[in-house]
Amino acid sequence: MSLLRVEHLKKYYSAPSPLLGPKRFVRALDDVSFELNEGETLGLVGESGCGKSTLARQLIRLETPTSGKIYLDGTDLGTLSGRKLREMRGNFQMIFQDPYAYLNPRMSVYATLEEALKLHSTLNAGERAERITELLRQVGLNPAHARRYPHQFSGGQRQRIGIARALAVRPKFIVADEPVSALDVSVQSQIVNLLKDIQNETGVSFLFIAHDLAVVEHISHRIMVMYLGRITETGPSRELCARPAHPYTRALLSSVPSIRSAAKRERIVLTGDVPSPLDPPSGCRFHPRCPCRQPICEQVEPELRCVGGNEKHLCACHFPEVSAEKTEKD
C-alpha cells in the first residue's frame, strides 16, 4: 500500500540575472514523480548536484516546492501549515548526513531525545524516561550513557543517536540523507544493518539517499536513479543492478567494485561535466555525456516507460533495450 506519493514535483531557485535580462532559475528538481510503499526502502542515487538532498528537503517540508504535490498517508502536505503541520511532522523525520554537525554539543543525549518527545508527544516525564531507555537499546547504545554529550561518542555512535532521535515519535516515514557517507567503511555496514532491523521491527518506510550503489542495493527494495533534477531509471534493486537499462545507470554500476563481475564488467568513464541546471540540455539531459546517443536524443526528451514489458522497471531513455542488451553481453 502506498504511503508516500509525489506528483510532478518541481523546485526552482532564483539565480542572479543579467541587468535588464530575463529571470534565471536553477532547476534543482524538474517534474519528479514516484511512490513509496509502507514498510519499503527506496534507494536514491546520483552524482552530486543531481537533486537528491533538494528532494529530501521538500519531502519533510524544510522547503516549499515550486509546484507539485506530496501526499503522505493520503494527506496533501502542501495544504498544511502552523499547528497542523507541526502535528503532522510526527509522521515523518530525517536522519542527516554528518553526525558531527547536527547534534547540539551543549545537549546531552537524554536532552536531545527528550526534546523530540516534548514537541511531538504527550508523554509525561516518567514515560519520556522509559521511552528514551527503549530508544537507546533499540539502536544498540547503553541507556546508562544517556547523560553523556555528543563529543563523548564515536562517529558511529553519534549516528545511532541521530537514528534514535528520528525514531523517538514513531514516524511512518524517514528520509535518510547519506547517513553512512561520513562514517568509516567498517561502521557503515553496522548502521545499514541497524536500519534494516529497525524496519523489520517497526514497519517504518525509508527513502535512503547515497552515492554508493553497493550500499543502496544492499538495503533497498527499489532503487531510483536521478540525473540533473529528473528520474532516469527506477525499478526493483536486484533487477536494476543486474539489468540496468539506462546508460547513466550502467556507468554508475561500472564504478562499483564487484568480485563476481570483475572479469565481465567494463569500466565506463563518462566524459565532460554535469551540465548546469541553469541551462539544461535540450532533449535527453544526459545526451552530451551518453556513449549511446542518437540524433533523437538531442531533440526529444524521453519519458519513463517500461523496460521489456516489466511495469516495475522504468527507464527514461529512447533506447533502453539497447542499453540492457549491451549490459548482458559485457
CA distance 140 to 131: 14
Q: Report, as an integer, the average pLDDT of 192-198.
A: 94
- What is the separation of C-alpha 194 from the centre of its chain, rounded to a whole number of angstroms? 17
Q: What is the pTM of this model?
A: 0.90
Query: In whole angstroms, what is the distance from residue 258 CA to residue 238 CA?
Result: 14
**Residue boundaries of the structural domains of the chain:** 242-330
CA distances from 219 to 3, 27, 243, 245 (A): 19, 29, 18, 21
pLDDT on residue 1: 77
- The pLDDT tens digits for 286-310 are 999 998 889 999 999 999 999 888 8
pLDDT of 330 strictly over 50 = no
Q: C-alpha angle with apex 140: 137 to 145, nearest 5 degrees?
A: 70
Place 329 in a pLDDT band, splitting at 50, 70 and 90: very low
Whether residue 326 is predicted with pLDDT greater than 50 in this model: the reply is no
Helix (H, G, I), strand (E, B) or coil at 214: helix
Work out the pLDDT band at 264, boundaries 50, 70, 90: low
Alpha helix (H) residue ranges in 150-301: 155-167, 185-202, 213-219, 237-242, 247-254
DSSP annotation of 260: T
Q: Does residue 207 contact residue 26 with C-beta atoms inside 8 Å?
A: no
Cα dihedral angle (183, 187, 191, 196), rounded to 10 degrees? 130
Task: Tell me the pLDDT band of 128, cut-offs 50, 70 and 90.
Answer: very high
